[in-house]
């Protein structure tokens, strides 16, 4: 509250000899008293201090806002990775469990045949039986690990706590890794027994020969691609392995064991050729950060061309998976260009149908064989990888693809969600860059305008993080194995 004295000037502000009444208004023309230099200096100092404080506050707010933004981005990336890992490892466990069960059943049948025939060393049969029993025990242990953490049908649904997702990821991963060694252990225990029991079993010999025959076109294609390598030994060894495989197929009384041996040598030589080609291209994904970009559902001529051009502009490569039914006259030149620029084209089935549904409907030949033939005719290269629509695969589809087509299954550990309603170039870029890590296989689609628009920015962002974009076989450093499932460089499900 103001008092009467609040209006009065101080004594030092009243000119000497002048008395001013508090009721007398101050003249408008009366000159203002001059401010002393000391007061002016104090005023300027106060202003500068205030300005500095304002600037400091703004800087602090900017840093705080940046920290909050970075924290939000980190939390978002952690959530996206947790969700992707849950799906990946949940499916890995399921496929691994199915396969160990199938191998155990097969081994039990061979053990029974061996016991009846009496032509196999009893010690080898006992070791096989013991391995089957231990594998069953490991399956039970893995099941307990999963059930202890996963108690709902939709364990990997979106919009749940990342901590809960991580708990499930750990359970699925531990269970899958518990089972993984038992695939090789069962094969190793079964191989010597099967070689004796099935030596001239017509059905077993025919099935082994069919697997080699299905894989040979793709391996021969690799041999043609690696003819000019500086590492001449790798190319020569591959050609010798191919000749040996063909000789075994042409032989009249080739045994089951011989076919298994030449098949293993052929794939080992193919792996060596892939590694030699990688070395010549300066690719070593075991030491440097690599990711494999993949594009499904094409070709769509205009968008697919833009995608390929963006990759070429940055000096990158990717792997494409074409729908057989989408290949028309306009699409064939696009697919030819893909392969000409060193970008493999695999199959995405004939009509984009889930693999388990194809097996149940009995349409394997139309969906798998005919699609692969159409793609191969368009590209001029054999198909050696298949991408399951919606990521759905099972034991039956894996067996058909391994035995009849000689192809591996390419899945992914990063989903761009470019197929989702409301997806935009920005959302696709954020999801890819948030989830990508060394060894990732990334799912995108070369049929969406927003994907083509996002791709140059994705490539720039990944390059800035030190990534190199490569094909799937360059990423893994091995020729695609029939029946194998490739989620990433670090998560390959054996057959």
Q: Around Cβ 359, how many Cβ atoms within 10 Å? A: 20
pLDDT of residue 22: 41
Lowest mean pLDDT among 35-49, 96-110, 459-473: 35-49
Lowest mean pLDDT among 186-190, 289-293, 336-340, 486-490: 336-340
Every domain of the chain and the residues it spans = 74-151+159-197, 201-282, 284-493
Q: Residues 446, 452: contact at Cβ < 8 Å?
A: yes
Q: What is the DSSP string of 282-350?
A: T--TTTS-EEEEEEEEE--HHHHHHHHHHHHHHT---EEEE-GGG--TTHHHHHHHHHHTT--EEE--S
Q: Residues 168, 187: contact at Cβ < 8 Å?
A: no
pLDDT of residue 3: 41
- Residue 35: pLDDT band (50, 70, 90) is low
What's the whole-number mean pLDDT along residues 213-217? 97
Q: Residues 235, 276: contact at Cβ < 8 Å?
A: yes
Using CA atoms, how far residue 205 sits from 15, 114, 195, 264, in Å, is 123, 17, 10, 15
Lowest mean pLDDT among 33-37, 96-100, 271-275: 33-37
pLDDT in tens, 104-116: 999 999 999 998 8
Model-level pTM? Answer: 0.85
- Exposed, middle or buried: residue 336 (CB in 10 Å: 0-12, 13-18, 19+)? middle
Q: Residues 478, 332: contact at Cβ < 8 Å?
A: no
Lowest mean pLDDT among 27-41, 73-87, 341-355, 449-463: 27-41
Q: What is the phi-psi region of residue 422: left when phi exceeds 0, alpha when psi lies from -120 to 50, beta otherwise?
A: left
SS3 state of residue 445 = strand
Helical ranges in 341-483 per DSSP H: 355-361, 364, 371-379, 395-400, 425-435, 449-464, 472-476
Query: Tokens 């030149």 — which residue?
Result: 333
Question: Can you give the C-alpha Rg of the chain in angstroms?
Answer: 34
pLDDT of residue 80: 79
pLDDT in tens, 174-212: 999 999 999 999 999 999 999 999 999 999 999 999 999
Helical ranges in 28-161 per DSSP H: 37-117, 122-149
371 token code pair: 């699609």
Q: Which tops the pLDDT comparison, 11 or 45? A: 45
CATH number of the domain located at residue range(s) 284-493 in this protein: 3.20.20.370
Q: Is the pLDDT of residue 213 over 50?
A: yes
pLDDT of residue 148: 85
What's the whole-number mean pLDDT along residues 16-42? 50
- Residue 17: pLDDT band (50, 70, 90) is very low
- Exposed, middle or buried: residue 169 (CB in 10 Å: 0-12, 13-18, 19+)? buried
Q: Is the pLDDT of residue 25 over 70?
A: no
What's the whole-number mean pLDDT along residues 89-115? 96
Q: Residues 187, 104: contact at Cβ < 8 Å?
A: no
- Residue 93: pLDDT band (50, 70, 90) is very high
- Residue 47: pLDDT band (50, 70, 90) is confident
Mean pLDDT of the chain: 88
SS3 state of residue 485 = strand
């Amino acid at each position: 509250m103001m008092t009467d004295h609040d209006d009065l000037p101080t004594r030092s502000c009243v000119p000497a000899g002048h008395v001013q009444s508090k009721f007398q208004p101050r003249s408008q023309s009366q000159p203002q008293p001059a401010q002393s230099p000391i007061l002016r200096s104090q005023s300027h100092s106060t202003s500068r201090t205030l300005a500095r404080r304002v600037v400091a506050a703004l800087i602090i707010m900017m840093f705080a806002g940046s920290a909050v933004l970075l924290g939000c981005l980190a939390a978002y990336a952690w959530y996206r990775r947790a969700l992707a890992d849950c799906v990946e490892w949940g499916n890995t466990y399921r496929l691994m469990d199915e396969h160990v069960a199938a191998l155990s059943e097969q081994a039990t049948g061979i053990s029974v045949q061996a016991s009846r025939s009496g032509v196999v060393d009893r010690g080898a049969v006992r070791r096989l039986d013991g391995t089957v029993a231990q594998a069953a025990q490991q399956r039970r242990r893995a099941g307990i690990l999963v059930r202890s953490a996963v108690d709902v049908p939709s364990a990997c649904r979106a919009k749940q706590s990342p901590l809960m997702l991580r708990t499930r990821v750990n359970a699925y991963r531990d269970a899958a890794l518990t089972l993984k060694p038992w695939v090789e252990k069962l094969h190793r225990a079964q191989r010597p027994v099967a070689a004796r029991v099935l030596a001239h079993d017509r059905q077993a010999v025919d099935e082994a020969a069919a697997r080699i025959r299905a894989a040979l076109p793709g391996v021969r294609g690799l041999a043609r691609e690696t003819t000019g390598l500086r590492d001449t030994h790798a190319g020569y060894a591959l050609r010798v392995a191919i000749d040996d495989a063909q000789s075994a197929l042409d032989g009249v009384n080739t045994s089951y064991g011989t076919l298994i041996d030449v098949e293993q040598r052929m794939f080992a030589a193919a792996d060596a050729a892939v590694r030699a080609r990688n070395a010549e291209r300066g690719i070593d994904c075991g030491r440097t950060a690599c990711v494999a970009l993949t594009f499904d559902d094409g070709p769509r001529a205009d968008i697919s061309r833009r995608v390929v051009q963006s990759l070429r502009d940055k000096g990158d490569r990717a792997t494409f998976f074409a729908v057989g039914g989408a290949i028309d006259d306009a699409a064939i030149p696009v697919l030819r260009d893909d392969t000409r620029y060193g970008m493999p084209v695999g199959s995405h089935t004939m009509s984009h149908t889930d693999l388990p549904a194809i097996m149940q409907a009995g349409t394997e030949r139309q969906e798998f064989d005919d699609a692969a033939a159409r793609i191969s005719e368009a590209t001029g290269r054999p198909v050696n990888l298949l991408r399951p629509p919606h990521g759905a695969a099972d034991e039956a589809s894996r067996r058909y693809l391994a035995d009849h087509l000689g192809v591996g299954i390419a899945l992914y550990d990063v989903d761009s969600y470019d197929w989702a309603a409301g997806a935009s170039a920005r959302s696709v870029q954020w999801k890819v860059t948030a989830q990508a890590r060394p060894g990732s296989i990334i799912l995108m689609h070369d049929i969406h305008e927003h994907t083509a628009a996002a791709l140059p920015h994705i490539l720039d962002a990944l390059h800035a993080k030190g990534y190199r974009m490569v094909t799937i076989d360059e990423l893994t450093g091995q020729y695609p194995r029939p029946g194998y499932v490739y989620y990433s460089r670090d998560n390959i499900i054996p057959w």
